[in-house]
Amino acid sequence: TLGDLQRLDATASTPLLWVALVAVEPDGTVVANLRAPIAINPDRMIGRQILPNDSTYPIRHVLMPADS
């Protein structure tokens, strides 16, 4: 959103880095948070976690089940 871009000190044409958080759960399942990625403006060294209200992506997306 425009507000997110402003907080990143970026414009629509600023190249941003997008990072998805990946975790290994106690049972060994590997999951990624696809709903709330981190956007980073590398020119300004500013980042923030983006959590859109209308996202269809899951917070817990299994990349590799336990014991695979």
CA 47, distance to chain mean position in Å, is 10
Q: What is the pLDDT of residue 68?
A: 61
How far, in Å, CA of 10 to CA of 40, rounded?
Answer: 10
Token pair of 6 as six digits: 């402003």
Helical spans, DSSP H, in 1-68: 2-7
Helix (H) or strand (E) holding 26: none
pLDDT tens for 8-55 read 999 999 999 999 999 999 999 999 999 999 999 999 999 999 998 888
Instruction: Tell me the pTM.
Output: 0.80
